[in-house]
Amino acid sequence: MAKTRLESGSTLDGFIIGDLVHRGGMAHLWQVSRPGDATQMLMKIPVLHEGEDPAAIVSFEMEQMIMPRLKGPHVPRHIANGDFATQPYIVMERLDGETLLPQLDALPLPAETVARLGAKIADALAALHAQGVVHLDLKPSNIMFRPNGDAVLIDFGLAHHRDLPDLMQEEFRLPYGTAPYMAPEQVMGVRNDYRSDLFALGCLMYFFATGTRPFGDPQKLKGLKQRLWQDPVPPRKLQPDIPPWFQEIVLRCLEVRAGRRHPSAAQLAHDLRNPDQVTLTARAGKLTQDGFFAVLKRKGEPPSSLIDKPQADEAELSDAPIVAVALNLDDLTPELSDKLRRTASRILERSPQARLACLNVQKLNRIAMDSSLDEEGNNKHVQRLVGLKDWAQGLKLEQGRITFHVLEAIDPAETILDYARQNNVDHILMGARENSTMRKILGSVSGKVAAEAPCSVTVVRNRQLTEE
């Protein structure tokens, strides 16, 4: 990847770089323009410095995949993407105004004001869900408003799209999100339930109406899991002037079981706009948290028993096979590369609906500290990602049928096997290392994968093709 120096007045792919608008931990935002286009635009560029979390790169890939598919007033209009081979970026329309973040200084707000905000945000969620997307990172800094009052959702790096591969789920075991707003099922690794966004909106409304976060801000998984059995202090206990209907709505959003929340964002918006029509239950009158024994009973149940299955419409799964091709980019000869590509093509031809996952394992040292940059200052993770995409160009597969994964681990074979197990891979394709003394001493990666894989394995050699 060529190193691009960005500064005001420079040009990138026809876009003229303006002022640096925001310097974040994972990405920077630049104001940009281009000749003949009066659109106000922002360019989002990921941070790719030494020591960066690989999840930041994968998250940016996800956003590049999802944003071009989104339409409507509740999302920023997508304009362009930049390739990782040169300079990754996303150009989108620049929205006037600020996010909800500055309003935190004025909390708590009247419940009626929060309800109006919540209804507009629920409208935006309903539009997003109708396009097959769960946001999964709803929070004040990711919500803006257009001059006409429409809520706009931004930052789709952690989102799930029902028609696209979920790279975050495939490559990382820990849940990703913003701790105060994560739904219980999201904490447990479920990423395809639209009702997770309703839980997040409930957290936001609770916070805005009371000035207190319902579940605090835990920084460890153990703390996040407490929301599976520990209910929040009822809002009316903290702010007695909160009306019962508002507490009813908020506590319904915060139910541990997704099936007990509103069935859709549209119905939530309707309740927020029609408080006189909200059916009040025991939730509306609560002034104390559940008792010790009720909490103890829930805590004693397996966490999986507290998590409802995702709604059927959002849990559509493809029965097409998943084929994983593992490429050793450090030792890939042109001959072996071509054979792997031709073999992959034959497998995909037999299964027109198959999905191809291209894997590379960046081997880590067991003792010494590893640098994320090469000798020229380029990010190793990105370089390998570009290498995988270069290899796959000849396959000419449409987006959605192919994904790319750079995995970091000490044991490449075990990492490939773990990926296959976790992602229900049906077929692994990989190249065999040439005969060498080191191979005889340590054994081959392909041999271990073929021996232990939970699926069929095709090992391609320079002179022959074997299925093991």
149 contacts: CB under 8 Å, gap ≥ 6: 120
Per-residue CA distances from 245 to 96, 299, 456 (Å): 33, 29, 57
Residue type, 421: R
288 contacts: CB under 8 Å, gap ≥ 6: 234, 237
Long-range contacts, 113-118 (Cβ 8 Å, 24+): 114/205, 114/208, 114/209, 114/246, 115/205, 115/246, 115/249, 115/272, 115/273, 115/275, 116/272, 117/205, 117/208, 118/201, 118/204, 118/205, 118/268, 118/269, 118/272
Q: Taking a C-beta distance cutoff of 8 angstroms, is the pair 358, 325 a contact?
A: yes
Residue type, 389: K
The one catalytic residue in 123, 137, 193, 308 is 137
Residue type, 186: Q
What length does the chain have?
A: 468
Residue type, 345: S
Please confirm, yes or no, whether 137 is among the known catalytic residues: yes
Catalytic residues: 137
